[in-house]
Structures are given as structure tokens and as C-alpha cells.
Amino acid sequence: MGSTVPRSASVLLLLLLLLRAEQPRGAELTFELPDNAKQCFHEEVEQGVKFSLDYQVITGGHYDVDCYVEDPQGNTIYRETKKQYDSFTYRAEVKGVYQFCFSNEFSTFSHKTVYFDFQVGDEPPILPDMGNRVTALTQRFRGAYWKELDKMVDYQPGGTPATEGLGRLAPS
């Protein structure tokens, strides 16, 4: 007996699967990193696909860790030492498993709590062509920005050389 699923439902399911394939993927995690320890994570990335790593030490010691990222061939493509937070974005040159590690090996007595957000893929804009639009929200922000800037200029004693030379700036 043939399929009883209507053709429109099949097309809709296929469309939903295709839309899902376009979505970036990623992970957020907060974890404990003991003193004198290293923790690594792995992610498969296709060639030409962008990925980004954002991290921050939330608690522990001087709020710092070492972090590095290696490509599938073991080449270090990012390395920072004793950072409280940082961001790293890269477009994969080769397909394979990329590794990113956090190290607290320099600390002999304080463990850390580390948060990271690892995203793979280009995130599409919320609204197409948003950069070329002026919305009520952007107009309101601009108005509030200039209003606050005027207040700061007004409170400057006797004017400052920077504002005297430029005159009053105002949105057009």
C-alpha cells in the first residue's frame, strides 16, 4: 500500500529539514577547572565554516586561565595565557576535529569556574538588510545618545578644547 502522507506535508517536512541544516550549532557550558588541571573539548568543523569561542573565568584565584585552539593537524591557531576572558573567531581551513583547551596548570591551589560559548556556522541576521534600516528603536537610541552627550558637554567647566574646536555636534 502507498504512503498516506499528503504531498504538501512531505514538502513541508523537507523544507523544515533544509531550514534546520542552515542553522548554526554550538554549545554553552560552565565547568569547574581544578588547580593544576587541563580540560579539552572537541568539535567537528567543515572546511570554510566559521566558528567562534567566547570564554570567561567566573570564579577562582585571579580569574585567569590559559586557553588554546588546535586545528585537526595539531597546529595551534590560538593561544592566550592567564586571561580572564576573550573571544576568538576563525574560518576552518581544513575539515576535521578542532580542539580547544582550558588550562589551570599554572595554579597549585585555586580552582576556577569557566564559562564558554562555542558556535559553529554563520548566524544569519535577524532581519535581512538590517544595517541599512532606520527603525523607531535606532532613532530613539540616537536621540537619547545625543541628549546625554549634550548633558556631558554642558557640565564641562569652561568648555574643553575638544568641544570648543568642534562646536556642538548634533544628529542630522
CA-to-CA distance for 95 and 109, rounded, in angstroms? 39
Residues near 146 by beta carbon (within 8 Å), at least 6 away in sequence: 169, 170, 171
The confidence score (pLDDT) of residue 165 equals 42
Is the predicted pLDDT of residue 46 greater than 60, yes or no?
yes
Rounded distance between C-alpha atoms, residue 64 and residue 112, angstroms: 8
Does residue 66 carry a pLDDT above 80?
A: yes
pLDDT digits (tens, 9 = 90+) for 90-125: 999 999 999 999 999 999 889 999 999 999 997 665
Q: At a CB cut-off of 8 Å and minimum separation 6, what does 90 contact?
A: 50, 51, 52, 69, 77, 78
- Give yes or no for residue 79 having a pLDDT over 80: yes
Q: What residue spans define the domains of the chain?
A: 23-120
What pTM did the predictor assign?
A: 0.61
Fold of 23-120: Jelly Rolls (2.60.120)
Strand (E) or helix (H) holding 17: helix 7-22
Residue of 52, 50, 48 whose CA lies nearest to 69? 52
CA nearest to 55, candidates 31, 76, 24, 34: 31
Residue 172 pLDDT > 70, yes or no? no
* Mean pLDDT across 153-159: 54
- % the chain with pLDDT above 70: 57
Judge whether residue 47 has pLDDT over 70.
yes
Average pLDDT on 131-144 reads 56
Residue type, 149: L
The full length of the chain comes to 172
At residue 5, the pLDDT reads 53
Task: Please report the pLDDT score of residue 27 as a whole number.
Answer: 86
